[in-house]
Structure 1
Amino acid sequence: MNTHHRPSTPAATDRTPPARRGREWLHGWDPEDEATWDRGLAWRTLSITTFTLTLAFASWFIASALAPKLTNLGFDLSTDQLYWLVAMPGLSAGLLRLTWMFLPPIVGTRRLVSLTTLLLLIPLLGWGVAVQDPTTPYVWLLVLSFLSGVGGGAFSGFMPSTSYFFPRRLQGTALGLQAGIGNFGVSLVQFLTPWVIGIAMVGALGASQTLTFPGRAPQEVWYQNAAFVYVPFVLVGAALAWTMLKSVPMSVNVRQQLDIFRNQDTWWMTLLYIMTFGTFAGLSGQFGLLIKNLFGGGNPEIARVLADGTTEVLVAGYTIPDPVAYAFLGPLVGAGARVLFSPLTDRLGGAPWTLVSGVGILLSVAWTSQQLSPDVAAGAGEVRAEFVRFLLGMLTIFLFTGIGNASTFKQMPMIFERRQAGGVIGWTAGIAAFGPFFFGIGLAMFAPETFFYIGVAFAAMCIALTWWRYARPGAPKRS
């Protein structure tokens, strides 16, 4: 561990927290004091908040798991409407995170985690009902997508809450594990969806639907299962949080938390987290639709819908890839990288790995930008090869975003004093949560190649920032 990594303002400057009444509130809590630090409580808090955060991420990205197949179920939705449907949870998550970031020191970990987890029931139950009826109004689907953002908003409350329970030397590992495993919720919802929709037993909660897919026979499915399957786990998570979590008193109110905006590093770290988590979340939400619209039934050069509602493949010998068979891989790689690299950031510091992440994102986005226009005239073999190159490029992007997600969360507790670090984590996470929204808008407004070129330019700017401010010898805030 590098002992020269120090916060800009020592922990000793944090104000003494006021006494809070009730058995849920801890007294004299100081994780920096090895003699009194309760490791069991800290790791129990991490376990429960990570479990519920995983469910929150699954709820947040439920729309991205459902959207690629809605037209195959009979929903009359355009390509742009689908992009907007997947973008809305990013908009609401970003807005809600800007609220949730202020709640941990005010509400307390126990109440915040318990009540937020219960709120996940609203979008999950709503989606389970809506997907059973192809005549469900598009406006209502947008409302459900917006409500799904509650799961994304939870991040800015859960992560700062967890940071109160660990000493700085372990926060890279603890926050990396929580965020990384929580990010697995994105992959989980996309991986489980094609499996659970075929189980009639769970589908007893509603009627079945007929799913059509180019080149395959119609399939009887219970699409509501993709949302309903999480309901019992949400109830268990809320019960565990209410009965087993404690809260740490913090001497900070909303006005005091706003002083993070007078620190320039709040803004620089926001840009870096947009590059890492913003890209991870944005691509996680849009990955399935990109596959469908570039290499699948959404590309008019590859397939067309016939008068009887079936889809004809226009490229002889080409098998259209099923988006849900691949979309979970990206979030899986990104979340795994976040978990695996978090301990390394505790040993080597965060800034060097953020630099590696930025360079990797720049190169992989630049390479993938050249794989977004399949050459249909060259035949099925070339289109398949281009899809493989596109898939590998996307997974590489996810890999480097995961590394950067771990490293930036190591940097923030080192740069800021404890009472500020939670707010900065919440703020940066809130802004980066707009990733799915801006990616959805960008892909609806620009050609995919143009949008990826913008990503290359942004990554280049973040690389320069990381080197100058945090990573170079003599940097003002080496972290």
Structure 2
Amino acid sequence: MTLTTNQGPDESVVAGPSPARERRSGRWIEDWRPEDKEFWETTGAPIARRNLIWSIFAEHLGFSVWLIWSVSSAFLVAQGFAFSIEQLFFLIAIPNLVGSLLRVPYTLAVPKFGGRNWTMISASLLLVPTLGFAYAVTNPATPYWVFCVIAATAGFGGGNFASSMANINFFYPADKKGAALGLNAAGGNLGVSLIQFFLPVLVGGAGIFGLVKASEGGIHLERAAWVYAGLAVVATLAAFFFMDNLVGARSNPREQLSVLKEKQTWIMSFLYIGTFGSFIGYSAAMPLLIKVNFWRQPLPSITGIGINFAFYAFLGALVGSMARPLGGWLADRYGGARITLVAFGGMIASTLLVLFTLSRLTVLPPAPDKAQVAKIAEDPSSFQFPDAVVRAIDANQEVFPFFLGAFLLVFVFSGIGNGSTYKMIPAIFRKDALRATAEGTPERELALMTQGKKASAAIGIIGAVGAVGGFLIPITFNSPWVTEPLAATKNAFWIFTAFYVACAVVTWAVYLRKRSGAAADKGYVGV
């Protein structure tokens, strides 16, 4: 029997005299040697590619469901729910918090159940938030706390990312991990953009830069929920028929959780808050940010004025998702740490540019309260926007193209950083193995196998901690100590800029600063 494993970046193969069976019941692959060039070219690459494609599809749906509240929350008032801005910001933050916490058990689930098997389970779990969403939005009497509970279950979609990335990490050789993980993550990240792009159209709102007009029949948010529930069933069946489990990916939870003792796990988690946390947090907050600062529409029956969030909210997630594989490719070519430092430099510059555009905005008068809205609803045809509101909206519309352009730059650099940081993780653990063992020895083979397992576990842990940024960013935009929305937005971006400076310093000090003597042997320059 052949004793073959693939646990990470560069492990070698320990082969016995007899040929291995490629599969056993349940689509398990026993012989998997991606670092063997001949095996990779003749057998491994097509299998890895097929698993990558369906992994991307399932993860894409996960992200869509995870962020479904980011854009639907802005439509809740139009559907008759009297929630405040503070409640809406908290509602879009809840799935991000739950999704980040679930990433640890989701990562541990891949070696426990198999990548294919867990993809089936995680895809089917998306039926819980989608069906719950369909129920809640069709009942105007649904209390806010029920919305919070249902929004929390959308975190199932956030957990999908960690298990998907950990699974794909096992399939690819070291020199292709950056690009493969970048594509896998980008496909998932695009789910954020597409849900924000298509949901307004699906539910009967205006969208696609105004080419689609709002439906005369009103907003029907449940339509989006039914579509994604159906797609979740498709993803479950696709995993059953087209994906595989790897025997070599087996490990026990204690072995995986040992990465919590590694200092590098926590350093990379800190950096990933800056990259992925920014991506997912800004994606969740962008629709409401545009609505609060650039748009006024007290009732759906009244034509709004300003910039409609539904036309542009998806662009940030789109460019961030497309930039992620570029970050992985650049990291493969020039080194993950170098590209990560460039990404943080770009994020610092672009957030400062966003702050400059915010300084040019005019503060909008407060939106009508519940009593005023009720009075307007008695005779919508006679309503006219106050002159102060019209002047402020007109002034802000002139600034919006510059605000949007600067904000999109933040997304671009966060996407590049997402790709480069995920390239760094397996490279760091591989370097530990190479440093501790001699070339061509059995000890190195074992070390590479062990460190490969740790790399996949670390991907989940780091992804979990990084996703916490998706909760913190919407909460920071809704700063409870600032009553005026524009001032809260400015304060938030100052905080984010300072954090990116700290991330850049850490990246340089730990992974790029050249050392001498014994310290050089312990460094990670070149990862």
What TM-score bracket applies, with the shorter chain setting the length? 0.7 to 0.9
Give the Cα separation in 1 of the matches to 2:343 and 2:508.
12
Q: Which amino acid aligns with 2:270?
A: L
Following superposition, the deviation at residue 162 of structure 1 comes to 0.7
Following superposition, the deviation at residue 220 of structure 1 comes to 2.5
Deviation readout 1:298-347 (Å, 9 max, x if unpaired) = xxxxx7x48xx96697xxxxx32111211100000100111233222212
Q: In proportion to residue count, which structure has more helix?
A: 2
For the 8 Å contact 1:276–1:402, the answer to whether it is kept is yes
Q: Partner residue of 2:493?
A: 452
Q: Which aligned pairs between 1:39-438 and structure 2 lie closer than 5 A?
A: 39-198=45-204, 220-249=218-247, 250-297=249-296, 305=298, 319-372=305-358, 374-375=361-362, 379-416=392-429, 417-438=451-472
Give the Cα separation in 1 of the matches to 2:23 and 2:454.
20
Q: Which amino acid aligns with 2:31?
A: G
Following superposition, the deviation at residue 73 of structure 1 comes to 1.6
Q: Which amino acid aligns with 1:397?
A: V
Deviation readout 1:214-265 (Å, 9 max, x if unpaired) = x999652332112211222221111110122111123521111122122211
Q: Which amino acid aligns with 2:499?
A: F
Matched, 1:32 2:35: yes
Q: Which amino acid aligns with 1:322?
A: N
Give the Cα separation in 2 of the matches to 1:8 and 1:243.
25
For the 8 Å contact 2:63–2:188, the answer to whether it is kept is yes
Q: Which amino acid aligns with 1:97?
A: R
Following superposition, the deviation at residue 385 of structure 1 comes to 2.0
For the 8 Å contact 2:204–2:215, the answer to whether it is kept is no
- For the structure 1 residues 23 and 36, does the alpha-carbon distance in structure 2 shift closer, same or farther, using more than 3 Å as the test? farther
Bigger-Rg structure (1/2): 2
Q: Partner residue of 1:465?
A: 506
| Further displaced range: 374-383 or 361-370 | 374-383
| Further displaced range: 456-465 or 125-134 | 125-134
Q: Partner residue of 1:204?
A: none
Give the Cα separation in 1 of the matches to 2:399 and 2:250.
56
Secondary structure at 1:459 match in 2: helix
Q: Which amino acid aligns with 1:273?
A: Y
Give the Cα separation in 2 of the matches to 1:79 and 1:395.
24
Q: Which amino acid aligns with 2:491?
A: T
- For the structure 1 residues 251 and 310, does the alpha-carbon distance in structure 2 shift closer, same or farther, using more than 3 Å as the test? closer
| Further displaced range: 370-379 or 356-365 | 370-379
Secondary structure at 2:218 match in 1: strand
Deviation readout 1:358-404 (Å, 9 max, x if unpaired) = 00111111221233362157755431122222211211110100000
Deviation readout 1:432-470 (Å, 9 max, x if unpaired) = 122221122222225121111111111011101111222
For the 8 Å contact 1:58–1:151, the answer to whether it is kept is yes
Give the Cα separation in 1 of the matches to 2:224 and 2:418.
28
Unaligned runs of 5+ in 1: 1-6, 200-214, 298-302, 314-318
Give the Cα separation in 1 of the matches to 2:36 and 2:187.
27
Give the Cα separation in 1 of the matches to 2:342 and 2:13.
33
For the 8 Å contact 1:370–1:449, the answer to whether it is kept is no
Give the Cα separation in 1 of the matches to 2:464 and 2:25.
30
Matched, 1:439 2:439: no
- For the structure 1 residues 312 and 190, does the alpha-carbon distance in structure 2 shift closer, same or farther, using more than 3 Å as the test? closer
Give the Cα separation in 1 of the matches to 2:314 and 2:346.
21
Total equivalences in the alignment: 442
Following superposition, the deviation at residue 131 of structure 1 comes to 1.5
For the 8 Å contact 2:337–2:511, the answer to whether it is kept is yes
* % same residue: 36
- For the structure 1 residues 473 and 131, does the alpha-carbon distance in structure 2 shift closer, same or farther, using more than 3 Å as the test? same
For the 8 Å contact 2:120–2:240, the answer to whether it is kept is yes
For the 8 Å contact 1:8–1:414, the answer to whether it is kept is no
Q: Which amino acid aligns with 1:231?
A: A
Secondary structure at 2:34 match in 1: coil
For the 8 Å contact 2:197–2:310, the answer to whether it is kept is yes
Following superposition, the deviation at residue 135 of structure 1 comes to 2.1
Q: Which amino acid aligns with 1:146?
A: A
Give the Cα separation in 2 of the matches to 1:465 and 1:311.
51
Deviation readout 1:74-119 (Å, 9 max, x if unpaired) = 1110010000110010111011112112111111111100110011
- For the structure 1 residues 108 and 371, does the alpha-carbon distance in structure 2 shift closer, same or farther, using more than 3 Å as the test? same
Give the Cα separation in 2 of the matches to 1:216 and 1:104.
43
Secondary structure at 1:404 match in 2: helix
Q: Which amino acid aligns with 1:292?
A: K
Q: Which amino acid aligns with 1:408?
A: T
Q: Which amino acid aligns with 2:196?
A: Q
For the 8 Å contact 1:368–1:390, the answer to whether it is kept is yes
Q: Which amino acid aligns with 1:338?
A: R
Give the Cα separation in 2 of the matches to 1:111 and 1:13.
25
- For the structure 1 residues 162 and 10, does the alpha-carbon distance in structure 2 shift closer, same or farther, using more than 3 Å as the test? closer
Q: Partner residue of 1:4?
A: none
Following superposition, the deviation at residue 9 of structure 1 comes to 9.6
| Further displaced range: 288-297 or 154-163 | 288-297
For the 8 Å contact 2:10–2:173, the answer to whether it is kept is no
Secondary structure at 1:28 match in 2: coil
Secondary structure at 1:230 match in 2: helix
TM-score by length of 2: 0.79
Q: Which amino acid aligns with 2:263?
A: Q
For the 8 Å contact 1:181–1:339, the answer to whether it is kept is no
- For the structure 1 residues 281 and 217, does the alpha-carbon distance in structure 2 shift closer, same or farther, using more than 3 Å as the test? closer
For the 8 Å contact 2:316–2:411, the answer to whether it is kept is yes
Give the Cα separation in 2 of the matches to 1:8 and 1:285.
33
Q: Which amino acid aligns with 2:329?
A: P
Q: Which amino acid aligns with 1:349?
A: G
Q: Partner residue of 2:444?
A: none
Secondary structure at 1:77 match in 2: coil
